[in-house]
């Protein structure tokens, strides 16, 4: 996993999706083929850094390696260009979370692998509610 992480690391530090040059549909994660018009002509485009929570769930039991982060809030966020993204929502009191809250994209540590010292970073969202 470490090698593929490093090969793709430029995509983890910004939300890099793509846009169809024929119909302007945008995708994240990037698509190989436009699902709207079928075009294969897509160009990289950075996604907006703000959006709103469409729905979310609170994980009180978490996978191995994420114990220090529980409870984990996972949400579906609709970015301001309409693209829907699954992501962790952080830095927000649980009782303040609401569907419809505005969110802002942030980059945070995802996890670390203590045996090799590798630290993985990626996108999360912080709610502005």
Residues in contact with Zn ion by CB under 5 A are 20, 22-23, 25, 34, 36-37, 39
Give min distance, CB of 3 to Zn ion, in A: 33
Q: Which is nearer to Zn ion, 28 or 125 (CB)?
A: 28
CA 30 distance to own-chain centroid: 12
Q: Which helix (H) or strand (E) holds 11?
A: helix 9-12
- By beta-carbon proximity to Zn ion, the closer residue of 43 and 116 is 43
Strands 16-20 vs 102-113: parallel, antiparallel or unpaired: unpaired
Q: How far is the CB of 40 from Zn ion (least distance, A)?
A: 9
Please state, in angstroms and rounded to a whole number, the distance separating the CA atoms of residues 73 and 63.
13
Nearer to Zn ion, 27 or 56 (CB): 27
Query: 11: which 2 tokens?
Result: 């995509």
Locate 75 and state its tokens: 């949400």
Helix, strand, coil percent content, the chain, rounded in steps of 5: 10, 45, 40
Min dist. Cβ of residue 25 to Zn ion (A): 5
Residue among 18 and 88 whose Cβ is closer to Zn ion: 18
In the complex, least distance from residue 15 CB atom to Zn ion, rounded to whole angstroms: 20
């Amino acid at each position: 996993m470490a090698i593929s992480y490093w090969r793709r690391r430029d995509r983890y530090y910004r939300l890099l999706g793509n846009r169809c040059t024929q119909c302007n549909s945008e995708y994240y994660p990037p698509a190989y083929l436009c699902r709207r018009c079928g075009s294969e002509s897509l160009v990289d485009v950075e996604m907006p850094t703000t959006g709103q929570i469409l729905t979310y769930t609170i994980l009180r039991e978490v996978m191995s390696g994420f114990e220090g982060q529980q409870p984990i809030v996972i949400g579906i966020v609709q970015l301001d260009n309409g693209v829907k993204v699954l992501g962790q929502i952080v830095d927000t009191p649980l009782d303040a979370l609401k569907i419809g809250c505005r969110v802002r994209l942030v980059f945070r540590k995802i996890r670390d692998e203590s045996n090799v010292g590798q630290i993985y970073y990626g996108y999360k969202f912080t709610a502005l509610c």
